[in-house]
Amino acid sequence: MATREITAENFNAIVEAGGIVLLDFWAEWCAPCRSFAPTFEAASEAHPDIVFGKIDTEAQRELAGAFEVRSIPTIAAIRDGVMVFRQSGALPASALERIIAGVRELDMEKVRAEVEADKQSGA
């Protein structure tokens, strides 16, 4: 599956569909973003069961703000509606593959329990 453009209008529907959503926050003027784009696209072809979304931080300032994006590119992973990873900086293909493998291996019951515990403690 090729990458998809993610906007404020389609974000919730995509995330609520479940599964893994990998997001690339980028901007046209950002040279590291442009150099990372082929790596992200290749990963989208190699993992058709994952939604690979690109968020243009210039056009989607609200989404970038909601994810507290301070530098680009920033990669975020959402699994079953829970953000489980976020990191700034262009990644080599091998690092992106390790992130994908790690997100696949997560015990989501444990993750949800930790999120709930953080809410209870006010963290």
Q: What is the pLDDT of residues 16-56, one digit of tens each?
A: 998 999 999 999 999 999 999 999 999 999 999 999 999 99
Q: What is the pLDDT of residues 59-85, one digit of tens each?
A: 999 999 999 999 999 999 999 999 999
According to the model, what pLDDT value does residue 116 have? 85
CATH of domain 4-121: 3.40.30.10
pLDDT band at 1 (very low <50, low <70, confident <90, very high): low
Which residue in 33, 69, 91, 100 is the catalytic one? 33
Our answer to whether residue 30 is catalytic in this structure is yes
Which residue in 15, 21, 23, 30 is the catalytic one? 30
How does 76-107 read in b/e, with b if 16+ C-beta sit within 10 Å? bbbbbeeebbeeeebbeeeebeebbeebeebe
Structural domain spans, the chain: 4-121
User: How is the beta sheet containing 4-5 ordered, strand by strand?
Assistant: 4-5, 51-56, 20-26, 74-79, 82-88
